[in-house]
Amino acid sequence: MKFFVDTAETSEIAELAEAGLVDGVTTNPSLIAKSGRDFLEVVKEICDLIDGPVSAEVTALEAPAMIAEGKKLAELADNVVVKLPLTFEGLKACQALTAANIQTNVTLCFSANQGLLAAKAGATYVSPFIGRLDDLGVDGMELIANLRTVFDNYGFDTQILAASIRSADHVQQCALIGADVATVPPSVLKDLVKHQLTDKGLEAFMSDWQKTGQSIL
């Protein structure tokens, strides 16, 4: 499973990239607003920072304007993926941008039917939102499993980009189901490495090592 980092903070992306944990990046208008930076400038900077796909979301609501915005975003760098909302207009824009050889990420997916439509429109990625379904008392992970079944049933190439991930357990469940990608907030990505037995084991090793009085360097 590929890891994308769900942030517009370049320092966080750079730090995680040092550990080889960044296969790509996703942003959305809320994350851009949180960064307080110029949208086009920050997307360009992220694209220069990593080799993998970087999702940048259109803000228009009608297909012609979405297509124009998508083409402008795609000109920023070769690794830009144009993020489009899962609406009828978004599907039209997805079809047009795919025909223009521009990669797309159809976002705000909350049902397997919506995901099926995105795949039929030629989406490179579809982003099902786990946490926001969980927030409503609906099992978000079931959507990931259903999309996996639907895409496998019909051999769609569209990649399942699990989004709105809130915990390490979400990531593990996505990997077990077979999501192609998980886009993960930096704090959750760092949580994946943690295990109390690792900490306890390391503490014991260090204590015993000190007793030897040796040093490697």
Given candidates 7, 79, 103, 107, which one binds ligand E4P under the rule CB under 6 A? 107
Beta bridge partners of 26: 6, 55
What is the Cα–Cα distance from 187 to 193, expressed in whole angstroms?
11
In the region spanning residues 165 to 194, those forming contacts with ligand E4P, defined by CB under 6 A, are 183
What is the Cα–Cα distance from 56 to 73, expressed in whole angstroms?
7
Q: How far is the CB of 174 from ligand E4P (least distance, A)?
A: 12
Given candidates 56, 80, 114, 129, which one binds ligand E4P under the rule CB under 6 A? 129
Q: Supply φ then ψ for residue 145, to 5 degrees.
A: -65, -40
Nearer to ligand E4P, 33 or 208 (CB): 33
What is the Cα–Cα distance from 193 to 184, expressed in whole angstroms?
13
Q: How far is the CB of 11 from ligand E4P (least distance, A)?
A: 19
Given candidates 104, 158, 159, 164, which one binds ligand E4P under the rule CB under 6 A? 164
Report whether 93 contacts 58 (CB < 8 A).
Answer: yes
The reply on whether position 163 binds ligand E4P by CB under 6 A is: yes
Name the E strands within the chain: 2-6, 24-26, 54-57, 80-85, 104-109, 125-128, 159-162, 181-184
Q: How far is the CB of 206 from ligand E4P (least distance, A)?
A: 37
Among 71, 83, 120, 190, the active-site one is: 83
Measured from each CB, the residue nearest to ligand E4P is: 164
Instruction: Look up 211 and say whether it is catalytic.
Output: no
Which residues are the active-site residues?
83
